[in-house]
Chains A and B, each alone.
Chain A
């Protein structure tokens, strides 16, 4: 691949280059203190004009760095990038005249109204005053914000903010549109709307789009995909090519005799199994190339029903990662031995009980009359977009925030009267591993065991357990900050488990994490659940919902539906969605709720 270095010819309307974007051998290091981080390592790619190219990869893959390099906000250590034939390094202003870029946290001015934000970006992008009214109307209609133009941007919902950001980015139609994780944390309805805007732009305005995302299920909506992992491009091409490569290798396994977790545990170590992961009530199985799923030899699996399913993008990603690491599903060691807990065998007891819980902030009801109960050893999920009330519920369950009304019990303790006692029963793992980066692994373990009040022999025993169980012993003196993401996550889990809690709270534990790490993490969580630990997960990530035994879907502070992921998905099965996904179910529920609440609003 050669770098396009010919001088910029500012006659873009007539020229029709074969490539929109040429990325040639880009390497970029970051130096933070004494550490040297390779964000991008010899990345090369091209994109075709008039298509949506997805830049797909887990957090830390280098997506944002690549976006910023294309936008001329960063300089590469080596390699070159050209946009429609103009070299970014040589003439960043010319490139910035051709592109629009929506950063991950788009720079909306929250103290300006929707219209004032549009005015600002129209001025900045040099949109002629005469054409503005028509352009605004078009954008507002497209984003559904027409009735909110005088509202402060800070008062919009998360999805609306994202759409306004997109409208500002599009105020002058760019030739190349860069969108950095536009759909992260956005509710599924807004996500679908954002995607339909992007599709519309490409078709009607023949715009070229580069969109980054950590959601693997979005790959299939792109015309072409660049798969980035740890700073390296590990795959490129239409998403169909990725799934075609997996033809005949994806299956679903069900067993009447074994629980889904037992079934998964039995499948993972088998020869020829690339991947086995819980999906609803079944186990999704990916076999090595050329291996048929025949488990007749396995007595345990004799009743397993194996049916072929359509491969998905993630199957290929896992396959590529396994090939790269030279491992199979079985070679990945996971925690297995957790001592079964000695506790009164009241198996049916509800460990977490939430009854008509309400949290008001002034007039606003962040949590509006929700009730649910979680049994011992259950993995229970709270699924909802940012702002649905998940975090508020979580904080009340941790005893960090008093409820306005309703009853909250954790392990038999009422949080209104015995919050500290209840808190002692639970372990908490925050979304962004809240460990001390400057301390070593051992120092962190010591600190957290001390913080949980462990002393003497018990502390020694627990730190030894953590080092052994999570294979952290070789890294005990390593500075936590320098650990690879996967180890940080293990360590965060170890710290949350130091005091052997009966209940474990996980806040979006694997959103944006690479699929192998996610599998490893959930295998540990499954083991914990089997040992009797009750697990409560909050997430906006549809995939994480699949790992839960039961879950509730939350929106606007209320619970829209509860049940197993299978039940929720089947509830919205219709002609249009013969095999609905969790996202389809979510959208159906929100739309049903809107339909229900709107007539009421009109009547009021």
Chain B
């Protein structure tokens, strides 16, 4: 056996023994992704449900009762009745309701006269995203009701154009189906970078790195001995995440598993490369952990298009997103899970991931030298 091979074998065996004996690596690779996925998968949803909506009926009428019933039947609303605008306003200010609909005293009269009855909608705008969703839901319910009333009365619809929405790729428009694949990318960024950054920082902390460095081992061998075992561990975490997504959250996996494996491998290499790069500057585990979270997890969360649409970001921020590896992986995952193996989307993103992996691993190799200064 050549010297290099023997050294690499020795290092990898050591790393494997450490992984098996020290539960922290296994926790980062398997428990952390599973926990985050469960937490976010169940906790984070962009769909508004059971919105506390006030309905102010100044003068009861058959029409008003019918509209109220419409809201009550909707899964999106949990309506509460008010008799005056003032009471509803107080409730809104006290955050007891998220918005209210105001049916004026002349509501029924206007409607019967064939005029637009002009309902008022007030929404708590503190959470802009929620406000927009509530507004849309109310609008939708209102149009549905008007249409139904018009049909019943045999009069032409007041709303001139009827929109027939048809949603592709995520027919249920479930935000979870959209979020979970993206989430996998965010979580794998964190675990991949944390794994390598922490284990190398640990070697610095415990003084083992200094002892390694004076042997004939080369920096290539040290880096390879970190990448290989933790790549396997990280991919294990990836498998756990995909299984949770498919079997627990029922996210459909439309695309090729082979392509998914390829993309995940490239992405894992990029993430491990980031971790290696971090470890060249952070020589204790605490700092390494902090840097890993700030430089990988946060950008992956905010700038990957996982929640916030990249196309609607200002141009300079959009440029920045190009150096976030998770961005490409999020695009790949969302495509593979929801749309299928769409090569026109996958190829450029796979190529970008390949470049990222080469750049980060290469930079880590350049930054790591066998000296303490």
Known A-B contacts A73-B371, A107-B212; the reply to A116 vs B17 at CB < 8 A is yes
What residues of A have a CB within 8 angstroms of the CB of B208 in the complex?
Answer: 107-109
Fill in one digit per residue for B203-230: 1 if any A CB lies within 8 Å of its CB, else 0.
1001111111111111000000000000
Interface flag for B3 (CB, 8 Å): yes
Known A-B contacts A73-B214, A124-B11, A125-B216; the reply to A103 vs B207 at CB < 8 A is yes
Q: Is the CB of A112 within 8 A of B214?
A: no
Checking A73, A106, A112, A124 against B7 with a beta-carbon cut-off of 8 angstroms, the contacting residue is: A124
What residues of A have a CB within 8 angstroms of the CB of B17 in the complex?
Answer: 111-112, 116
Q: Is the CB of A72 within 8 A of B216?
A: no
Give the CA-CA distance A425 to B157 in the complex, in Å. 91
Interface flag for B61 (CB, 8 Å): no
Known A-B contacts A68-B372, A122-B10, A123-B10; the reply to A107 vs B207 at CB < 8 A is yes
What residues of B have a CB within 8 angstroms of the CB of A418 in the complex?
Answer: none
Fill in one digit per residue for B10-34: 1 if any A CB lies within 8 Å of its CB, else 0.
1101100110011000000000000
Interface flag for A406 (CB, 8 Å): no
Known A-B contacts A73-B214, A107-B207, A109-B18; the reply to A123 vs B9 at CB < 8 A is yes
Interface flag for A215 (CB, 8 Å): no
Give the CA-CA distance A124 to B10 in the complex, in Å. 7
Q: Name B210-252 residues within 8 Å CB distance of A.
A: 210-218
Q: Is the CB of A101 within 8 A of B214?
A: yes
Q: Is the CB of A103 within 8 A of B211?
A: yes
Interface flag for B370 (CB, 8 Å): yes
With both chains docked as a complex, state the minimum distance between the C-beta of B20 and any C-beta of chain A, in angstroms: 9
With both chains docked as a complex, state the minimum distance between the C-beta of B165 and any C-beta of chain A, in angstroms: 58
Checking A72, A103, A109, A112 against B371 with a beta-carbon cut-off of 8 angstroms, the contacting residue is: A72
Tell me the nearest residue of chain A to B209, going by C-beta: A107
Q: Name A190-207 residues within 8 Å CB distance of B.
A: none
Q: Is the CB of B21 within 8 A of A111?
A: yes
Interface flag for A121 (CB, 8 Å): yes
Give the CA-CA distance A310 to B207 in the complex, in Å. 40
Most buried by B among A68, A109, A168: A109
Known A-B contacts A106-B211, A126-B216; the reply to A72 vs B10 at CB < 8 A is no
With both chains docked as a complex, state the minimum distance between the C-beta of A154 and any C-beta of chain B, in angstroms: 10
Interface flag for B6 (CB, 8 Å): yes
What residues of B have a CB within 8 angstroms of the CB of A92 in the complex?
Answer: 370
Tell me the nearest residue of chain A to B19, going by C-beta: A111
What residues of A have a CB within 8 angstroms of the CB of B22 in the complex?
Answer: 111
What residues of A have a CB within 8 angstroms of the CB of B212 in the complex?
Answer: 107, 124
What residues of A have a CB within 8 angstroms of the CB of B206 in the complex?
Answer: 105, 107, 109-110
What residues of A have a CB within 8 angstroms of the CB of B3 in the complex?
Answer: 126
Q: Is the CB of B372 within 8 A of A111?
A: no
Tell me the nearest residue of chain A to B9, going by C-beta: A123
What residues of B have a CB within 8 angstroms of the CB of A73 in the complex?
Answer: 210, 213-214, 370-373
With both chains docked as a complex, state the minimum distance between the C-beta of A577 and any C-beta of chain B, in angstroms: 36
Q: Is the CB of A123 within 8 A of B11?
A: yes
Fill in one digit per residue for A109-149: 1 if any B CB lies within 8 Å of its CB, else 0.
11110001001111111100000000000000000000000
Q: Name B335-373 residues within 8 Å CB distance of A.
A: 370-373
Interface flag for A97 (CB, 8 Å): yes
What residues of B have a CB within 8 angstroms of the CB of A168 in the complex?
Answer: 211
Interface flag for A570 (CB, 8 Å): no
Tell me the nearest residue of chain B to A70, going by C-beta: B214
Give the CA-CA distance A121 to B212 in the complex, in Å. 9
Q: Is the CB of B209 within 8 A of A111?
A: no
Q: Is the CB of A74 within 8 A of B216?
A: no
A-B contact pairs, 25 of them (CB 8 A): A68-B372, A71-B214, A74-B371, A93-B218, A101-B211, A102-B211, A103-B207, A103-B210, A105-B207, A106-B207, A106-B211, A107-B208, A108-B208, A111-B17, A112-B17, A112-B21, A116-B14, A120-B10, A120-B13, A121-B215, A124-B212, A124-B215, A124-B217, A126-B3, A168-B211
9 closest A-B pairs by beta carbon, nearest first, are A123-B10, A107-B211, A107-B208, A105-B207, A101-B214, A124-B215, A126-B3, A103-B210, A111-B21
Q: Apart from A73-B370, A111-B21, A124-B10, what 13 extra A-B contacts exist at CB < 8 Å?
A: A71-B214, A75-B373, A92-B370, A102-B211, A103-B207, A109-B14, A110-B206, A111-B18, A112-B18, A112-B21, A120-B13, A123-B13, A124-B217
